[in-house]
Amino acid sequence: MSEPILAPEEIEALMAEVAPSEKTDAMFASLPPMQQPEQVDLFRFDSFDEDSPERYPMFVNLQERLVEMLDEQWDELFRRDISVQLNKLESTVYKELITVDHPQVYFVFEVESFGRMMATFDTALIVAFVDAMLGGDGEAADDPESLSPVELRLSERIAEKIGQTLGKLWKPVHPLEFTLFKIDHDPQFLAMTGAMEKCFSTYFDAKISEELTGQFGLHYPHPFLEPMFEILRVAVSDEPTSDDTEWSDSLMDRISKTSSDVRFELGRCQIDIGTFLDLKPGEFLPLNIRTSDPCSLWVENIPLFQARAGEREGILAAEIIEPIRMEA
């Protein structure tokens, strides 16, 4: 250990040269009183680091847009109003995402040239989703710890829909195709990214019913988003822009050539799973609609026309009666 620069007696001598404590107190007492502010607010340093999601306005806008997309999709699945709300955005270390103290289901997606990202759901939410898919009311048992083999298998359909929705969400920024890599309720072997890798995490609250409210999250590792950071830094402007006729004409031309799924729905019915499994050839399902009643012709998830079932050149056809007027 090196010797101190000053010996104790040298330090004492220097302090004595400054002034004795009585003289110092007298000096401060002679100064005029300082005016004090009436109110002092607690100062907090900005907690957002350079790589926080809030630093990227376009990323924030995408998460808000996702709320609208999921709200619409889940209303249709559960056949009632489902509340989806953005809870928070934060930068999280991957290790913390997989060391939670409540049961979750983990969906890992892979995107070519970008890597992997992850969606996490409270297990009760996935159980409710499966119940709704099977025609139930979308209920879940109290605090399910894991998924049954059937629920795990049906979760693949949930994951497929999530992947399609994320693809549509990101398309204005960059075309991404989300392919399911793994589903598990044990996070130890997900292999999504490195343990200490930073992720942009977005958490949403979903209210399925009065009895069931849960949380789900989306987690993008930093390397996944890095190629798009410049675009995500762009602020979303609400200012009106001048019309670009050439661009709009080109857009309309592309839209008119885009294929769309159309379905003709003759009717619906609701039966319990036991009855459904006991169905035999020759038995009928009551659709609660008369043969003379018009049916709905859907484009994607929107009913656009009233139509009547018919036949044309030996092929089942739908004769359009009139457009469906959407309520404002």
Instruction: Give the pLDDT score at 250.
Output: 72
Report whether pLDDT(328) > 60: no
* Ranges 186-190, 196-200, 239-243, 250-254, most confident: 196-200
Element of type H or E holding 183: strand 179-184
Task: Please report where in the chains the tokens 């002034």 appear, as a residue.
Answer: 19
Q: What is the distance between the alpha carbons of residues 160 and 109, in angstroms, rounded to a whole number?
A: 10
Q: In sequence order, which ranges of the chain are alpha helices (DSSP H)?
A: 8-18, 21-30, 57-78, 94-97, 123-133, 149-170, 222-225, 229-232, 245-256, 273-277
What distances in angstroms separate CA 240 from CA 75, 80, 233, 243, one per listed residue?
32, 36, 20, 9
Which sequence spans correspond to the domains of the chain?
A: 53-236, 262-323
Instruction: Give the pLDDT score at 49.
Output: 52
> Which of the four pLDDT bands, split at 50, 70 and 90, describes residue 321?
confident
Q: Dig out the tokens for 214 from the structure.
A: 């849960």
DSSP helix/strand/coil, 287: coil
Nearest to 223 by CA among 241, 196, 243: 196
Cβ atoms within 10 Å of 184's Cβ, excluding its own: 17
Work out the average pLDDT over 98-121. Answer: 94
Instruction: Give the pLDDT score at 245.
Output: 67
Contact 90, 190 (CB under 8 A): no
Q: Dig out the tokens for 33 from the structure.
A: 């009183």
Q: What is the distance between the alpha carbons of residues 262 and 239, in angstroms, rounded to a whole number?
A: 36
Q: What is the signed CA dihedral for 311, 313, 317, 322, rounded to 10 degrees?
A: -90
Task: Please report where in the chains the tokens 């709009």 appear, as a residue.
Answer: 248
Instruction: Give the pLDDT score at 232.
Output: 94
For the segment 134-172, what is each residue's pLDDT rounded down to a tens digit?
988 888 777 788 899 999 999 999 999 999 999 999 999
User: Which one has a higher pLDDT value, 60 or 143?
Assistant: 60
Report whether pLDDT(241) > 70: no
Instruction: Give the pLDDT score at 77.
Output: 92
Q: Dig out the tokens for 50 from the structure.
A: 């350079």
Report whether pLDDT(37) > 80: no
Domain 53-236 sits in CATH at 3.40.1550.10
For the segment 275-318, what is each residue's pLDDT rounded down to a tens digit?
888 888 888 887 777 777 788 888 877 888 888 888 888 888 88
Neighbour-count burial for 215-242, b at 16+ CB within 10 Å, e otherwise: ebbbbbbbebbeebeeebeeeeeeeeee
Give the torsion sign (CA, 186, 191, 196, 200).
Answer: negative
Q: What is the signed CA dihedral for 64, 69, 72, 74, rounded to 10 degrees?
A: -100
- One of 3.90.380.10, 2.30.330.10, 3.30.450.20, 3.90.230.10 is the CATH number of 262-323, namely 2.30.330.10
Lowest-confidence range among 65-79, 250-264, 265-279? 250-264
Q: What is the distance between the alpha carbons of residues 310 and 299, in angstroms, rounded to a whole number?
A: 19
Single-letter amino acid, residue 181 = F
202 backbone φψ class: left, alpha, beta (φ>0; ψ -120 to 50): beta
Cβ atoms within 10 Å of 64's Cβ, excluding its own: 11
Lowest-confidence range among 17-21, 178-182, 239-243? 239-243
For the segment 211-237, what is each residue's pLDDT rounded down to a tens digit?
899 999 999 999 999 999 999 998 765
Q: Dig out the tokens for 224 from the structure.
A: 């996944």
* pTM exceeds 0.85: no
> Which of the four pLDDT bands, split at 50, 70 and 90, describes residue 43?
low
